[in-house]
Amino acid sequence: MTFDNKPLPGGVGVEVIGLEVNGPVASDTAAALKKLWLDKGVILFRGLGTSPEVLLELSRCFGELEPHPIEHFRLPGYPELILLSNEKDLTGPVYEFDGVPTYGRIPWHTDLAFATTPNAGALLRMVKKSEHGGQTGWLDTAMAWEALDAATKQRIEGLEAKYVFCPDLSAMRFNRQKGKLLQPTSKSLPSFPPVAHPLVWVHPETGQRILNVSTLNIQSVLGMSQSESDALLEKLIAHTLQPQFQYIHDWEENDIVLWDNRRTMHSAFGHPVDEVRIVQRSTIRGTVQMGRVIEEEQQEQTA
pLDDT band at 302 (very low <50, low <70, confident <90, very high): very low
> Is 101's pLDDT higher than 60?
yes
- The answer to whether the predicted template modeling score (pTM) of the entire model surpasses 0.85 is yes
pLDDT at 208 over 50: yes
Q: Which of 83-87, 124-128, 217-221, 251-255 has the lowest mean pLDDT?
A: 83-87
Q: What is the mean pLDDT of residues 177-203?
A: 87
206 vs 202: CA distance, rounded Å? 8
pLDDT per residue as tens digits for the range 228-271: 999 999 999 999 999 999 999 999 999 999 999 999 999 999 99
Query: Residue 98 contacts by C-beta under 8 Å, 6 or more apart in sequence?
Result: none
Q: Which amino acid type is present at position 25?
A: V
**Sheet of strand 160-163, all strands in order from the earlier edge strand to the far edge:** 218-221, 160-163, 195-198, 292-293
Check whether 297 has a pLDDT greater than 60. no
Instruction: State the chain's mean pLDDT as an integer.
Output: 93
- Read off φ and ψ for residue 160, nearest 5 degrees: -120, 150
- Mean pLDDT, to the nearest integer, of 101-122? 95
Give the pLDDT score at 1: 62
pLDDT score of 296: 59
CA distances from 289 to 161, 199, 260 (A): 15, 15, 16
Q: Where are the domains of the chain?
A: 4-302
CA–CA distances in Å: residue 292 to residues 80, 167, 301, 303? 26, 20, 17, 17
Question: pLDDT category, 186, cuts 50, 70, 90?
Answer: low
Q: What is the pLDDT of residue 206?
A: 97
Strands 121-128 and 278-284: antiparallel
Neighbouring-strand partners of residue 81: 282
Burial of 104 (0-12, 13-18, 19+ CB in 10 A): buried
Q: What is the mean pLDDT of residues 88-93?
A: 84
pLDDT tens figures, 130-165 = 999 999 999 999 999 999 999 999 999 999 999 999
Could you tell me which CATH class the domain 4-302 is placed in? alpha beta
- In the 8-state DSSP scheme, what is residue 294? P
Tell me how far apart the alpha carbons of residues 285 and 123 are, in angstroms, rounded to a whole number.
12
Q: Is 300 helix (H, G, I), strand (E, B) or coil?
A: helix
